[in-house]
Chains A and B, each alone.
Chain A
Amino acid sequence: MFYVSIFFQYMSQYVKTKLQYRTDLFVEFLSDLMFQGVNLIFILVVFGHTQLLNGWTRDEIIFIYGFFLIPFALFASFFNIWDFNERYIVRGEMDRVLTRPVHSLFQIVLERMELESLLGGITGLVVMGYAASRLHMTFHWYDAVLFVLFVLGGTFVYAGIFISLASISFWSDARSSIMPMMYNIGNYGRYPVDIYNRIIRYILTWILPFAFVGVYPAAYFLRKTEWYTYSFLTPVMGMVCFTLSVLLWNAGIKRYRGAGN
């Protein structure tokens, strides 16, 4: 309860700060929108030529992409801590965080939130709607519940992976240069995994489970029964990933060396 109230406090401060820089806000909004647009065009161009990709139709792939955008937007809004090493370890900001009576990771999530990324979620819904209407998809009432569960699962998979990567900074002073690579790998999860070879599929399922952010949960709504097991594993994977990453983080905090001053 305390954490919820703190969350809203930080959020209202965030909004206030953003409103102070009106032009910034506008430019950001516009560039985000353009970024989403470019992504969409890319997908349409690529699948404009191939109507079938290993048994998946163009519209199905667009639907997966749309679904992927929603957990990704949630992740980008709250767990986008790719610059954790530079910002908190090298500059020693972690000192300040550790002198406050709130869990350190939660504080960092609050400080680093970027609510404008939620915009990507709306794009995702639009894309999904478009694909769903072309596929004449039908939904049950409980699909809404599953949708929320799957989206949260996917978000936590993403969050878990990136929190784990950030935790590595506690052990080594390596720069966050692997982060951009991770974003790239993350993108593989939005295409049907069976187009990749077995090793990559295995990695995307069990090692860096990005497939649980896009294709697996979306397969349920596309009624691809052969993937259902994976679809329903999504929330579990999210929980597991996130829990492991928090444990790793807590272990890392003990190793924090501080920055000299």
Chain B
Amino acid sequence: MYAIEVEKLRKEFKSYSSRSGLAGAFRDLFTRNYKIIRAVDDISFTVKQGEMVGYIGENGAGKSTTIKMLTGILTPTSGRVVVNGMNPHKERERFVQTIGVVFGQRSQLWWDIAVQESFRLLKKVYRVSDQDYNEHMDHVIETLDIGPLLDKPVRKLSLGQRMRCELAAALIHNPPLLFLDEPTIGLDVLVKLKIRQFLKEINEKYNTTILLTTHDMTDIEALCERVIMLDEGKIIYDGSLQHLKQNWGEGKQIHFQFRDLVSKEELASLVHVTWEQGEDRYNWIAHVRANDMAHVIGKVVSSYELKDIHIREVSTEEIIRNIYEEGIHYG
């Protein structure tokens, strides 16, 4: 039994373009130019119960549109969506009872009332019994460390405090499936860590399925074993993060700072690897495979005088950027 099943899912939007000038505005009154934009283009995937999946892509790749179809907010143009065994937009009210949603850029809580009042209202909306609520939420409140915030109105909370409350609010009915749309946007490292820790915990404790979109690759690295990568509405990669890194991110960068000026040719004739210039001609970066590292360093050190040297791993961020810039090619 899958938590999410998506088959050939497509969403098209009509996008109106306005003509320029006053005359154009008048013409727009009668006939409008529009083109059909395919935000999500026939994607298919499945997610098992208990999986944590990172859903990544550039802005406008179709991430939010997919999430909105999966949560029943938008009606798909075509294709099949089954989430928690239901059709999200057809049985919306029954369906949303089984999911939790956090939109990082939008608040679920009531602005003017105390956090606990918001919780109480949501508890009613989701028809959670007092016993379930206490049992479950005491733990959530404790782990997210939001006890002291409960009697403050949401508008007086900092972003980090608010996000933790949002997360708690999304879990009031203890849903088996959680959608997080950029939950860590704009948060500091400590809060991010706390949130990740918490997500891991509920995943282990309740076998909660989590689908996460984010621009922060460290979130994905910390949480998700599997990533689905989207580009222009199509899935361009679906598999383990490990695999992605091995195929596109293998290798290290060695940053040399020389005492004297050096040219690329000299370096290239010394060791046959890819050299890239740093800030100036004193700084050079070698792209090498992990196995060759010692060899390259040895050669350079024995031939030149160095001021500084450091080694960097290729970050997931860079891997993703490379894939978007160069397209995907298996190797």
Contact = CB atoms under 8 A, between A and B. Distances in A.
Contact of A6 (B68, B72, B103, B125): B125
Contacts of B322: none
Interface residues of A, number: 27
A101 B125 contact: yes
B126 A258 contact: no
B312 interface: no
Interface in A72-99: 92-96, 98-99
Interface string B60-82: 00001100100111110000000
A2 B72 contact: no
B101 A13 contact: no
Contact of A101 (B65, B93, B117): B93
A10 to B, nearest CB: 7
B105 A261 contact: yes
Contacts of A101: 93-94, 96-97, 125-127
Nearest to A91: B106
Given A9-B121, A13-B110, A99-B73, A258 B93 contact: no
A92 B93 CA distance: 19
A106 to B, nearest CB: 10
A260 B13 CA distance: 12
A17 B153 CA distance: 10
A16 B113 contact: yes
Contacts of B106: 92-93, 95-96, 261
Given A99-B71, A258-B68, A13 B121 contact: yes
B68 A95 contact: yes
Contacts of B101: 99
Q: Which has the most chain B C-beta neighbours within 10 Å: A5, A9, A92, A95?
A: A95
A136 interface: no
A103 interface: yes
Contacts of A103: 93
Interface in A1-31: 2, 5-6, 9-10, 13, 16-17, 20
Contact of A17 (B75, B89, B105, B112): B112
A12 to B, nearest CB: 9
A198 interface: no
B108 interface: yes
B139 interface: no
For chain B, give the interface size range.
20 to 34
A7 to B, nearest CB: 10
B291 to A, nearest CB: 44
A205 B285 CA distance: 81
A70 to B, nearest CB: 29
Contacts of B97: 101
Nearest to B122: A100
A257 interface: yes
Interface string B102-134: 010111101011000100110011110000000
Contact of B13 (A17, A94, A95, A257): A257
Nearest to A8: B124
B224 interface: no
Contacts of B65: 258
Contacts of B281: none
B73 A98 contact: yes
A102 interface: yes
B48 interface: no
A260 B39 CA distance: 11
28 contacts: A6-B124, A9-B121, A9-B124, A13-B117, A13-B121, A16-B113, A20-B112, A20-B153, A95-B73, A96-B106, A96-B108, A98-B71, A99-B71, A99-B96, A100-B126, A101-B93, A101-B96, A101-B97, A101-B126, A102-B93, A103-B93, A257-B74, A258-B68, A258-B74, A260-B64, A261-B64, A261-B103, A261-B105
Interface of B: 13, 64-65, 68, 71-75, 89, 92-94, 96-97, 99, 101, 103, 105-108, 110, 112-113, 117, 120-121, 124-127, 153
Interface of A: 2, 5-6, 9-10, 13, 16-17, 20, 92-96, 98-103, 254-258, 260-261
Given A5-B124, A99-B108, A103-B93, 20 more contacts: A9-B120, A9-B124, A20-B112, A95-B68, A95-B73, A95-B103, A96-B103, A98-B72, A99-B99, A100-B96, A100-B125, A100-B126, A101-B93, A101-B94, A101-B126, A102-B125, A254-B75, A254-B89, A256-B74, A258-B68
